[in-house]
Amino acid sequence: MRRIIAAMKVSLDGKTEGSEGMADWVEAWSEDYGLTRQIDACLLGGGMYPGYEQYWGAILDKPQTPAWITGEPPTAAEREWAELIGRTPHYVLSRTLTTSTLPNTTFLRDVSEVAALKQLPGKDIYLVGGARVVVALLDAGLVDELRLITYPLVAGIGTPLFAGAEDRHRLELRSVEQLPAGKVGLTYTVLRDHRTAQDGDARGEERGAL
């Protein structure tokens, strides 16, 4: 079975966004988790997707123009990732969104469709975010691995990564990597010890639109 790997950039106090609704401490939004060669699909929640589409669509159209959020020209790694986005299937879990300007985008309406996606042949699936969909799929028993890049910053008021989690989840630390500028890369395996994906599907369907 394909694995779903959630990977996000967070502050030291576990925030995915600051008080202004964005992670302004992140200098670039390239795929820096070492996932590119092992994935062939990306998965996002409906709350994150409009901003994701705007950010990467702009880089695809005008790769030399300063990027939204960072205010800086896209890095080489961001331009490379934008090109990959343009040819990689994207799945958006949302009960409200219906259109996309990015190619190869499919909308999923409930958690059971994510479970079905895992059953299809292919490589692993990159769960890009946001925080709500990561928690919903974690509680549904569908997230297999968690990769975090932690920034040396206490964000204070903001969006916690695991806010709203309804279950306890045990993780096994697989690797720790010291990165430039005081960042730390962490990789965890999500352990299955008290829930099944089927039980989680029912819980996820009760959450409403993402």
Give yes or no for residue 160 having a pLDDT over 90.
yes
End-to-end Cα spacing for the chain: 24
DSSP 129-153: E-HHHHHHHHHTT---EEEEEEES-
Residues 107, 92 contacting (CB under 8 angstroms):
yes
Name residue 102's amino acid: L
Percent of the chain scoring above 90 in pLDDT: 75
pTM of the predicted protein model: 0.89
Model confidence band, residue 26 (pLDDT cutoffs 50, 70, 90): very high
Give yes or no for residue 152 having a pLDDT over 60.
yes
Model pLDDT for residues 181-194, shown as the tens digit of each residue: 999 999 999 998 64
d(CA 39, CA 124): 5
- Pull the structure tokens for residue 162: 């695991």
Model confidence band, residue 103 (pLDDT cutoffs 50, 70, 90): confident
